[in-house]
Each structure stands twice: as structure tokens, then as C-alpha cells.
């Protein structure tokens, strides 16, 4: 399982066989303390994280349930080879490379760039498609004209656009994209861009 941001009541029937929870960053939609506490109490899980989450996680679960890894260091998780990849957000963050039986998958979300990340020959990816940049800029301008604040200002500076995601997948030959973290403001435009691709 990657991240634990949903309420436990919404996932409890789907996590019976989960043995590893790969955590990325501290934001509540990825790191729900109550859910993590209940996963630790009700399931025999190990929490994988970078050093930036260790202290916060230690306040919730026993240290014996935490495995800390650095970027690029592969580890075995019940037949899956897993390695962290650096993500670029407004807090320390990571994504994961997950490999099994020759299948290579990249998972990365809450990042504003994929520069420096290679995924040539990867079969699939779950990558953030937070916004469609042209529509986002129009909405930001409209909000400014009305003297309002737009949350999209933060989104375009700390989250990946669908355009960059598609460009990355094309450049690496990734055929199967599972879009994640689609924002509501430009959802239609994001879906339209994914359909065109």
C-alpha cells in the first residue's frame, strides 16, 4: 500500500492482506495519523519511509514497525523490489520504483517536476496529473481580477501538470499511465488531455 491518507473506515475492508505501507510525505491526504495508528494496531504491517518521516511516525507506531530507507536503495517487500525516488514538493517527499518479475512501475505524486528521474522501459506508472496548466492560469487570472485568492497558485508551483506527466510518459515509452491526484478545478481539462493522449 502506498500512503495512508484516507480514513481507516474507508479502507479497512481492503487492507486485510497489506504487509507494507510505503509512505511519501507528511501532508494529511497522504499521512493520516489516525489511519496509520489503526493500521499498526489491527494489521501486521511495516511502515517504509524516508528519514524525514521517522520522528513523526515514531509518535504513532512502535519503532519495530518502521523501516527507514534512503534514495535509490532497493529493498525486498514480499517479492517486490522497491526503491525510493526523490520527489520535489513543498515538504520532503519521495516516490517509489516497484519491480516484480520483470515488470517495472513508477509511483510518484505531489511533485512539481520529474527532471532527473529516468523510467525508460518501465511498463506502467501512477503519476500525478494535478492540473491542466492553461486552464489553471486562466482561473488564476480570473481570481486576481476579482480580488480573490486561487488555490491553483500553490498547485502550479508544487504539483505536476497533466502536460508534464504525458510528456514524461512519452519520453520514457511508458504505455500504461494510472493518473493520480487530479485536482477538481481543472478536472475536465485533465481528463480531456489524457483522452487525447
Predicted local distance difference test score (pLDDT) of residue 78: 81
Instruction: State the Cα–Cα distance between residues 122 and 100, nearest whole angstrom.
Output: 12
Reported in sequence order, the residue ranges of 89-135 that DSSP labels E, i.e. its strands, are 92-100, 103-108, 124-128
Domain(s) of CATH 3.60.15.10: residues in the chain: 1-98
Please check whether residue 98 is in contact with residue 80, taking contact to mean a CB–CB distance below 8 angstroms: yes
Q: Name the percent of the chain lying above pLDDT 70.
A: 100
Query: 81-101, pLDDT tens digit by residue?
Result: 999 999 999 999 999 999 999
Instruction: State the Cα–Cα distance between residues 41 and 102, nearest whole angstrom.
Output: 34
Instruction: State the Cα–Cα distance between residues 163 and 192, nearest whole angstrom.
Output: 11
Using alpha carbons only, what angle is made at residue 159 by residues 172 and 68, rounded to the nearest 5 degrees? 80
Instruction: Quote the cell numbers at residue 178.
Output: 494510472
Asked if pLDDT for residue 72 goes beyond 90, the answer is no
Instruction: State the Cα–Cα distance between residues 148 and 128, nearest whole angstrom.
Output: 26
Please check whether residue 185 is in contact with residue 139, taking contact to mean a CB–CB distance below 8 angstroms: yes
Q: What is the average pLDDT score of the chain? A: 94
What is the CATH code for 1-98?
3.60.15.10
pTM as predicted: 0.92
Query: 19-71, pLDDT tens digit by residue?
Result: 999 999 999 999 999 999 999 999 989 999 999 999 999 999 999 999 999 99
Asked if pLDDT for residue 77 goes beyond 90, the answer is no
Distance between first and last Cα of the chain: 28
Predicted local distance difference test score (pLDDT) of residue 197: 87
* Distance, CA of 165 to chain centre: 13
Asked if pLDDT for residue 79 goes beyond 90, the answer is no
* Helix, strand, coil percent values for the chain (each to nearest 5): 35, 25, 40
Q: How many Cβ atoms from other residues are within 10 Å of residue 80's Cβ?
A: 16
Amino acid at each position: 500500500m502506498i500512503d495512508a491518507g484516507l480514513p481507516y473506515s474507508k479502507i479497512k475492508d481492503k487492507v486485510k492482506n497489506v504487509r507494507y505501507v510505503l509512505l511519501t510525505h507528511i501532508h494529511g491526504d497522504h499521512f493520516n495519523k489516525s489511519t496509520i495508528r489503526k493500521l499498526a494496531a489491527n494489521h501486521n504491517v511495516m511502515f517504509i519511509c524516508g528519514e524525514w518521516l521517522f520522528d513523526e511516525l515514531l509518535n504513532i507506531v512502535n519503532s519495530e514497525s518502521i523501516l527507514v530507507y534512503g534514495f535509490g536503495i532497493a529493498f525486498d517487500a514480499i517479492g517486490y523490489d522497491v526503491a525510493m525516488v526523490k520527489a520535489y514538493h513543498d515538504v520532503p517527499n519521495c516516490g517509489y520504483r516497484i519491480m516484480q518479475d520483470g515488470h517495472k512501475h513508477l509511483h510518484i505524486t505531489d511533485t512539481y517536476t520529474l527532471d532527473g528521474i529516468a523510467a525508460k522501459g518501465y511498463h506502467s506508472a501512477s503519476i500525478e496529473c494535478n492540473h491542466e496548466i492553461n486552464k489553471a492560469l486562466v482561473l488564476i487570472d480570473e481570481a486576481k481580477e476579482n480580488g480573490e485568492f486561487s488555490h491553483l497558485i500553490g498547485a502550479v508551483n508544487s504539483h505536476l501538470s497533466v502536460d508534464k506527466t504525458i510528456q514524461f510518459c512519452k519520453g520514457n515509452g511508458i504505455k500504461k499511465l494510472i493518473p493520480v491526484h487530479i485536482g477538481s478545478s481543472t478536472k475536465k481539462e485533465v481528463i480531456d488531455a489524457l483522452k487525447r493522449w
